Structure 1
Amino acid sequence: MTMSSATSAHSGRVYRYYDLVMVAFVTVLLCSNLIGAAKAAQVTLPVIGPVTFGAGVLFFPISYIFGDVLTEVYGYGRDRRVVWAGFAALAFATFMSLVVLKMPVAPFMSDYQKSLEDVFGNTWRIALGSLIAFCCGSFTNSYVLAKMKLWTNGRWLWSRTIGSTLAGELVDSSLFYVIAFHGIWPLEKVIQVAIAQYILKTTWEVVMTPVTYKVVNFLKRAEREDYYDRNTDFTPFRLRV
């Protein structure tokens, strides 16, 4: 089978679990950005002392794990489609929150309206930061993993899951907190939280490596797929595989 025919066969295949992974990815993305991102949490660690971080860090890195799994098993092209599905979901959630908050409130709901505004009042900035950071970070993550898979000839999965996350999360964390919270939080807090976020996210990836291995190996066996992006167009601006 030639490279072009192999690519065509890949684009036309139907997978058992691909849609489920896509739904799980979008769900984690929405919840972590619209629920967790607005809250800054603080814990006191031995030796280090107080550490401030976005509460969404507990769950958002799971989306990067899904990104690693998608690229490793199905290839960059199919992960690109999932990234755009996540982008569309975030964009709609932003539009919906703005419309809901702007609608006239019933008198008996006035107190509740204030609570909604306190939580979602800056949703447009969070979502804008999320959209930009998510797209840039996710495509960086997928690109680096796909290229590292070729460089390593499919060996050392841990090196590319961790390496791609280091690159992707650096882009993501560098963009998100500046866009979402600059001028709302003190600048030193923005920088502090962004750095803490990056460290915690990448640590999550290392901790979850055994789980990533299990999921990847299961999907490769179940789908009979282990895609190599040897002839892939890596532009992010397309939906076709």
Structure 2
Amino acid sequence: MTGQERAQRMLLVLAAFFVTNALLAEFIGVKIFALEDTLGMPPLQWNLFGQSGSLNFTAGTLLWPVVFVMTDVINEFYGKRGVRLVSWLAVALILYGFVFAYLAIGLAPAPWWVGIAADQGVPDYQAAYAAVFGQGLWTIAGSVTAFLIGQLVDVSVFQRIRRATGERMVWLRATGSTAVSQLVDSFIVLYIAFVLGPQQWPTPLWLAVGTMNYGYKMACAIALIPLLYLMRRLITAWLGRDQAAHLRAAAARG
């Protein structure tokens, strides 16, 4: 297998993993979980912008940090074109998934299926199915828009830091690009979904929840820095040092 073939296969694997995580994050994100209860900790009553509460996040936050790492890895070896390709592909497939989720909700349920989970505490399976998969259009619009803008910002900041640092300080361009892109992402998604949307959140609540979400994402991004270095080493081993260096140089040139 030639070096170019290995590079193409690696991009295919990275793109598949990236898109899968982004798509799953969108669909499981309908669940809100309590971080303190999950970790067995007493509730932390934060107070920001006159708002207070415990640490509640969408289940999608379990996967978004992985997407951040995948973005940085693709950016490292395949540059702006690689990240933009997989980002637009992810957006297209997320929208495709939601279209078919809505079509599936609209199908007439079999009468026996509606009550099949009643003994599990779900008296109406159709209503539960619609509630889980039928996310509001404002939420979908906010999430997809924020994701795409965040990715485009991420790739630009990553490359700017790369030009300034060269091959050194991989962690800096990874966390620096995530810090800027997720600052944009965390507030845009909430603004479209909950400020412009039907719930009409007041500005203090929007700022408080956005700040908490941003803090959580950044903590995860920093914690996953070792994973970034591990993936970089594994990919270099798979591609070979010469081919990996060639890809990184081409990515740096844009």
Same fold (TM over 0.5): yes
Which of 70, 73, 78 is matched with 2:74 structurally? 70
Q: Which has the larger radius of gyration?
A: 2
C-alpha displacement of 1:151: 1.1
Give the aligned partner of residue 227 of structure 1: 249
For structure 1, the 5+ residue unaligned runs are 1-9, 233-241
Which of 161, 186, 192 is matched with 1:148 structurally? 161
Fraction of identical pairs, as percent = 25
C-alpha displacement of 1:217: 2.4
C-alpha displacement of 1:86: 0.5
Which of 35, 39, 56 is matched with 1:43 structurally? 35
1:83 aligns with 2:112: no
1:23 aligns with 2:16: yes
Matches within 5 A, 1:185-224: 186-187=201-202, 189-223=205-239, 224=243
SS at match of 1:53: strand
In 2 relative to 1, CA 75–13 (structure 1 residues): closer, same or farther, beyond 3 Å?
farther
Amino acid in structure 2 at the alignment position of 1:206: I
Counterparts of 2:149 and 2:172, CA distance in 1: 21
Counterparts of 2:237 and 2:163, CA distance in 1: 20
Give the aligned partner of residue 132 of structure 2: 119
Which of 152, 177, 181 is matched with 1:139 structurally? 152
Amino acid in structure 2 at the alignment position of 1:90: I
In 2 relative to 1, CA 197–206 (structure 1 residues): closer, same or farther, beyond 3 Å?
same
Amino acid in structure 1 at the alignment position of 2:249: Y
Q: Report which stretch shifted further, 74-83 or 51-60.
A: 51-60
Give the aligned partner of residue 63 of structure 2: 59
Counterparts of 2:97 and 2:173, CA distance in 1: 32
Amino acid in structure 2 at the alignment position of 1:176: V
TM-score (norm 2): 0.78
Which of 144, 169, 181 is matched with 1:168 structurally? 181
Of structures 1 and 2, the one scoring higher in RCO (CA 8 A, sep 6+) is: 1
Counterparts of 1:176 and 1:63, CA distance in 2: 16
1:128 aligns with 2:141: yes
C-alpha displacement of 1:47: 8.6
C-alpha displacement of 1:17: 1.4
TM-score (norm 1): 0.82
Q: Tell me if the contact between 1:149 and 1:228 (Cα under 8 Å) persists in the aligned partners.
A: no
Q: Report which stretch shifted further, 181-190 or 139-148.
A: 181-190
Amino acid in structure 1 at the alignment position of 2:9: R
SS at match of 1:28: helix
Counterparts of 1:40 and 1:181, CA distance in 2: 15
Give the aligned partner of residue 3 of structure 1: none
Cα deviation digits, residues 170-229 of structure 1 (max 9, x gap): 111111122233434854554433222111111111001011011112213432222354
Give the aligned partner of residue 109 of structure 2: 105
Count of residue pairs the alignment pairs up:
222
C-alpha displacement of 1:68: 0.3
Amino acid in structure 2 at the alignment position of 1:16: R
